Amino acid sequence: MPKDGITPRAHDYSQWYLDIVQQADLADYAEVVKGCIVFKPTGYAIWEAIQRGLDERIKATGHVNAYFPLLIPKSFLMKEAEHVEGFAPEVAEVTRASGEELAEPYVIRPTSETIIGYFYSKWVRSYRDLPLLINQWANVMRWEMRTRPFLRTAEFLWQEGHTVHASEEDAERETLMILHDVYADFVEKDMAVPVIKGLKSEKEKFPGALRSYCIEAMMQDGRALQAGTSHNLGQNFARAFDITYTDQNNTIQLAWTTSWGVSTRLIGALIMSHSDDEGLVVPPRLAPTQVVVVPIYKNDTERSAVLAAIQQITADWKGRLRFKIDDRDNLTPGFKFNEWELKGVPIRLEVGPKDVANRSVAIARRDQPGREGKVIAPQAGLTERLTALLDAIQQTLYDRALAFRNARTADVTTYDDLKQQVERGFARCYWAGSTEDEKRIQDETRATIRCIPLEQPQQSGRCIYTGKETTRQVIFARAY
Q: Quick check: 338 and 321 in contact, CB under 8 A?
A: no
E strands, 191-346, where?
196-199, 211-218, 224-234, 244-246, 252-254, 256-263, 291-295, 323-325
Rounded to two decimals, what is the model's pTM? 0.95
Same domain for 315 and 382? yes
Question: Is 122 domain-assigned?
Answer: yes
Question: Is 80 domain-assigned?
Answer: yes
Q: What pLDDT sits at residue 2? A: 62
Tell which of 240, 274, 308 closes a domain: 274
Q: What pLDDT sits at residue 88? A: 76
Tell which of 320, 354, 389 closes a domain: 389
Question: Is 89 domain-assigned?
Answer: yes
Distance (Å, whole) CA 23 – CA 16: 10
| Chain segment 64-96, per-residue pLDDT in tens | 999 999 999 999 988 876 766 777 788 999 999
Question: Is 1 domain-assigned?
Answer: no
Same domain for 39 and 177? yes
Question: Is 404 domain-assigned?
Answer: no
Distance (Å, whole) CA 332 – CA 317: 25
Dihedral of the alpha carbons of 92, 111, 442, 476, in degrees to the nearest 10: -150
Instruction: List the chain pLDDT tens, one digit each, 480 residues.
Output: 467 789 999 999 999 999 999 999 999 999 999 899 999 999 999 999 999 999 999 999 999 999 999 999 999 988 876 766 777 788 999 999 999 999 999 999 999 999 999 999 999 999 999 999 999 999 999 988 788 999 999 999 999 999 999 999 999 999 999 999 999 999 999 999 999 999 999 999 998 899 999 999 999 999 999 999 999 999 999 999 999 999 999 999 999 999 999 999 999 999 999 999 999 999 999 999 999 999 999 999 999 999 999 999 999 999 999 999 999 999 999 999 999 999 999 999 999 999 999 999 999 999 999 888 999 999 999 999 999 999 999 999 999 999 999 999 999 999 999 999 999 999 999 999 999 999 999 999 999 999 999 999 989 999 999 999 999 999 999 999
Same domain for 326 and 216? no
| Chain segment 404-430, per-residue pLDDT in tens | 999 999 999 999 999 999 999 999 999
Same domain for 251 and 362? no
- 351 φ/ψ angles, rounded to the nearest 5 degrees: -130, 120
At 422, which amino acid appears? V
Q: CB neighbours of 160 closer than 8 A, spacing ≥ 6? A: 111, 112, 135, 136, 138, 140, 259, 260, 261
Q: What CATH number is associated with residue 369? A: 3.40.50.800
Same domain for 270 and 328? no
Query: What residues make up the domain containing 254?
Result: 13-274
Same domain for 204 and 351? no
Q: What pLDDT sits at residue 60? A: 98
Same domain for 228 and 169? yes
Question: Is 316 domain-assigned?
Answer: yes
Q: CB neighbours of 386 closer than 8 A, spacing ≥ 6? A: 291, 321, 347, 349, 363
Q: What pLDDT sits at residue 84? A: 65
Same domain for 251 and 367? no
Nearest to 231 by CA among 260, 193, 188, 271: 260
Same domain for 261 and 369? no
Question: Is 295 domain-assigned?
Answer: yes
Distance (Å, whole) CA 13 – CA 28: 19
Nearest to 474 by CA among 88, 241, 94, 200: 200
Same domain for 382 and 457? no
Same domain for 65 and 117? yes
Question: Is 351 domain-assigned?
Answer: yes
Q: In a 3-state reduction of DSSP, which class is residue 46?
A: helix
Q: In a 3-state reduction of DSSP, which class is residue 324?
A: strand
Q: What CATH number is associated with residue 432? A: 3.30.110.30
Q: Quick check: 261 and 179 in contact, CB under 8 A?
A: no
Total length of the chain: 480
Same domain for 137 and 216? yes
**Residue 374: C-alpha distances to residues 35, 317, 366 (Å):** 41, 21, 9
- Number of structural domains the chain divides into: 3
Q: What CATH number is associated with residue 80? A: 3.30.930.10
Distance (Å, whole) CA 240 – CA 429: 38
Return the exposure string of 87-103: e unless at least 16 CB atoms fall within 10 Å of the residue's CB, then b. beebbeeeeeeeeeeee
